[in-house]
Structure 1
Amino acid sequence: MSHSLSPDLALPLRDAIGTEHRPAAGEVRIVSLVPSLTELVCDLGLADRLVGRTGFCVHPRSVLKLVPKVGGTKDVKIDAVRELAPTHLIVNIDENRRETVEELAAFVPNVIVTHPCTPTDNITLYRLFGGVFQCAARAEQLVTVLEGALAEAQAVARELPREEVLYLIWRAPWMTVTRETYISATLAAVGWDTLPAEAGARYPEVDWQAPWMGRATRVFLSSEPYRFDETHLDEVKALSGRPVAMIDGEMASWYGSRAIDGMRYLAALRRRLR
């Protein structure tokens, strides 16, 4: 069943903390502190409204090299943002510090707080941005394409038996993700359930001797945030006793418009590794 709605029905436009936003009027100046959402802003045709971004906002490279940097996702340069005089600030609950956002909210009129937890949540995200920045038609095009990618992922999940996997994001100490994370939700969409099933932290350290390790069918080494590469394959295989494969971290962890290619990538990877 399609999720598509007429752009007229997109109101009210509420963000992740319930703040209601109105369609932007007059000059729009956007600062994005979220790499994947900076990419979404550009894919919605709003690159010319983007006046600031973090150093981690790298896609699309040809466009963003002309956009000023305002620090990182966690260490934002407040004065640099102030000088850009943004009308809108895009932030994320997991990626940006609350105290930083509150400081910026003192002089940025509109702060859009995001928190997609599953790939499907991107549909609401597209429509929120489409409504706020008055590009609803383009947002609906992205919704349609994402629905197709989600359907492809669901088909793979139905076609193949579910598997439990370990997804590594860091080394020294070894760290993974729990099922409450967006990464875990993207993998689950194609039939890969991350281990451990429960943990006290969202990004727990890995105990290679844990009882649940025996249930893992394979281990993934993500390309980010730690830069795992093929030189780590033998090391992890020796520790885990399981098949080990590289995985593109952007495809598994970036929401926004990257989720479209991400779902297709994971569906193809699931089929290739079966």
Structure 2
Amino acid sequence: MTSSVLPPTDAFGQHHAALGCNARIVSLVPSITELLCDLGLTDQLVGRTGFCIHPREALRRVPKVGGTKDVKLDRIRDLAPTHVIVNVDENPRPVAEALAAFVPNVVVTHPGVPEDNRGLYALMGHLFDCWPAAEALTAALDAALVEARAVGASLPAESVLYLIWREPWMTVSRETYIAATLATVGWHTLPREAAERYPSFDWQAPWLDGVQRVLLSTEPYRFQDKHVAEVTALCGRSVQLIDGEWTSWYGSRAVAGLRALAALRRALADARA
């Protein structure tokens, strides 16, 4: 990185101190915890949430600081981090504001589309001096995006219902990272418009007539094989279980996620043919 290039900012446009190997990092975002490990920063992680589970063995020694919503502020204070990484969707704003009172750098992330991972990699590369690993991930992401878009362009577009919860039934709006990731392979979520990012619905909603396929995500609700028959009876559409990490985890997992989605889309098209 040359001196003429401005350092990257976080999702709120904030510049943060780049401390390299001197940084002490707490990650409150599971997918970014995994990203930090894949960037070679495991030894600088001093805290994580209980939902930060990948890579499992590497994280065993990293202390937990609560969940993504119920963060233990006193525990984080004791760990004396230089950087805490949060996310707009996953961590409540009051938590981030409370952290800012005693943490020098509260780094806010908010990827909206898979392409935004480029900026995420660049930000981590800048803050923690891991440019070679960040650039390698960027190259892998670009290749995965090419593959996913090729599948999306080669097959007829499908309108899908992506289920994230049961009782009440909930889905995603087109304003979410999940919807943008699905669209990369030609799966376009319904409803087209929603007042909330994660709206609830009932099975009599008129827009359901346009749904061609239902995708049951394994997270945050753990949909399983037993739910496929239930949902099929409710809507009379093709129903498919899908790994929620493929669509909702950004960071390094986005690379594998895009490739897995492309493979699944091809396989379902082949099976139909």
TM-score if structure 2 supplies the norm length?
0.96
* 1:35 matched to 2:30: yes
One of 102, 110, 118 as aligned partner of 1:107: 102
How much does 1:199 deviate? 1.1
SS in 2 for 1:179: coil
Q: How does 1:197-216 map to 2 (within 5 A)?
A: 197-216=192-211
- Cα distance in 2 for partners of 1:221, 1:208 equals 15
Change (3 A) 1:162 1:25: closer
Aligned to 2:89: 94
Quick one: structure 1 residues 135 and 8, their matched pair in 2 at CA, closer, same or farther if it must change by over 3 Å? farther
Distance 1:161 1:24, change over 3 A: same
Distance verdict in 2 for CA 1:63–1:191, change over 3 Å:
same
How has the CA–CA distance of structure 1 residues 185 and 62 changed in structure 2, closer, same or farther, with 3 Å as cutoff?
Answer: same
Alpha-carbon displacement from aligned partner over 1:133-187 (angstroms, at most 9, x marks no partner): 1111110000000000000001001100111000000001111001001100000
Distance in 1, matches of 2:44 and 2:139, equals: 24
Q: What stretches of structure 1 move > 4 A for 4+ residues in a row?
A: 6-10
Q: CA deviation at 1:33?
A: 0.3
**Letter of the 2:209 counterpart:** G
Query: Structure 1: where are the runs of 5+ without partners?
Result: 1-5
Q: Within 1, Cα distance between the matches of 2:215 and 2:195?
A: 21
Q: Counterpart of 1:178?
A: 173
Q: How far has the Cα of 1:27 moved from its partner?
A: 2.2
Contact 1:29 1:50 in 2 (8 A): yes
Match of 2:119 among 119, 124, 127: 124
Distance (whole Å) between structure 2 residues aligned to residue 34 and residue 251 of structure 1: 16
CA distance in 1, matches of 2:48, 2:2: 28
**In structure 2, what is the Cα distance between the partners aligned to 1:152 and 1:118?**
16
Match of 2:186 in 1: 191
Q: Deviations over 1:206-242 (max 9, x none)?
A: 2212222111111011000001000011110010110
- Residue 81 of structure 1: SS of its match in structure 2? helix
Q: How large is the Cα RMSD of the aligned pairs?
A: 1.2
Is the CA contact 2:160–2:211 (under 8 Å) kept in the aligned structure 1? yes
SS state at 1:107 partner: coil
User: Against the structure 1 CA distance between its residues 44 and 218, is the aligned structure 2 distance closer, same or farther, given a 3 Å change threshold?
Assistant: same
The reply to whether residue 269 of structure 1 matches residue 259 of structure 2 is: no
Number of residue pairs matched?
269
Task: Say whether residues 1:234 and 2:211 are aligned partners.
Answer: no
Deviation track 1:23-50 (CA, whole Å, cap 9, x = no partner) reads 2156211000000000000000000000
Instruction: Summarize the Cα distance change of 1:210–1:9 in structure 2 as closer, same or farther, 3 Å threshold.
Output: farther
Percent identity of paired positions between Structure 1 and Structure 2: 63
Structure 1 residues 8 and 124, CA gap change in structure 2 (3 angstroms): farther
Deviation, structure 1 residue 262: 0.4
Secondary structure (helix, strand or coil) at the match of 1:111 reads strand
- 1:94-143 Cα offsets, whole Å, 9 max, x none, are 11011111111111111110000000000010001001111111100000
